[in-house]
Amino acid sequence: MSTQRAIDANQIDVALVQALVGEQFPQWSALPVRPVERGGNDHRMFRLGDELLVRLPAAPGYVPQVEKEQRWLPRLASSVPLRIPEVCGAGKTSELFGAPWSVYGWLDGQPASVSPIDDPVRLAGDVAEFLVALRQAPVTTDAPAPGLHSAFRGGPLKHWDDEMGDIIHRVHGRERDVAAGIWRDALDAEFTGPPVWFHGDVSVNNLLLTEGRLSAVIDFGCSATGDPACDTVMLWTLFTGRAREQFRRTLDVDKATWARGRGWALWKSLIMITNKPPGQAEFARRVLNELIAGV
């Protein structure tokens, strides 16, 4: 069965998940299935009983992320100081669903996007410490390099230069001039170091908090080994004041990495600034203001 024909996000529902679990993991077939609120765009997620989570790619472009996570998350778990998704079952392509899928252990906690952050400075330090540990994880010759599976995160920013030429027209006047300068600086600050592990999508949706403290990091779909600059963007997207200083100090990367990270943040913000719902556009505008102000 063709993956291109088989994956239809509109058909990924409780009934499909129950059928898949019954087909491939009969030991869990009696467990109730229910959708996960805020389940994400790239993958659909369902609770399986109280201790498990089923995660399925929502489109063909996300399929390569599945087997990557199944292979590498168990290896990375011992290198990082926080919990990450634990692979409990590797679902296979079948007549029911034309792509691999996963069963993970359920991780308690609320995303930082909806959970009160009691101590932003502590959170900034905890996120940075996690990223430092991740980039120090062993990189073997078979580790994944940047590519379509990582949305080309970890690769040269030049990959997005043509697109930037189009989206930079979403701002005008002095803002456009400053944005063009940020992008030029990012392109000039080429990555010359050895490849390291990066997460690729460090956002408030992928940070789980328990009692106000960072307890887990999820969604490694964009992870790979390469340039870690894409993991610096929280400096502009979340942290301010002392928290920003803490993140910058603890992450401890060079000026060139911050310059490339600023380019990543600019690219993403310009993409989102005309998005709907309005909340995304408002978020993008705030980040652009931070970038253009030079913080």
Residue ranges of domains in the chain, CATH in brackets: 3-107 (3.30.200.20), 111-293 (3.90.1200.10)
> Distance (Å, rounded) from C-alpha 258 to C-alpha 220?
22
Phi, psi at 193, each rounded to 5°: -85, 180
Q: Which pLDDT band holds residue 5 (cuts at 50, 70, 90)? A: very low
* Number of CB atoms found within 10 A of residue 147's CB: 14
CA geometry: angle 264, 266, 267, nearest 5 deg: 65
User: What is the tens place of the pLDDT at every residue in 116-143?
Assistant: 898 999 999 999 999 999 999 999 999 9
Q: What is the pTM of this model?
A: 0.94
pLDDT of res. 60: 94
pLDDT of res. 10: 83
- Is residue 3 predicted with pLDDT exceeding 60? no
3-class SS of residue 171: coil
User: What is the tens place of the pLDDT at every residue in 76-98?
Assistant: 999 999 999 999 999 999 999 99
User: What is the tens place of the pLDDT at every residue in 211-252?
Assistant: 999 999 999 999 999 999 999 999 999 999 999 999 999 999
Q: Which pLDDT band holds residue 6 (cuts at 50, 70, 90)? A: low
Query: What is the overall mean pLDDT for the chain?
Result: 94
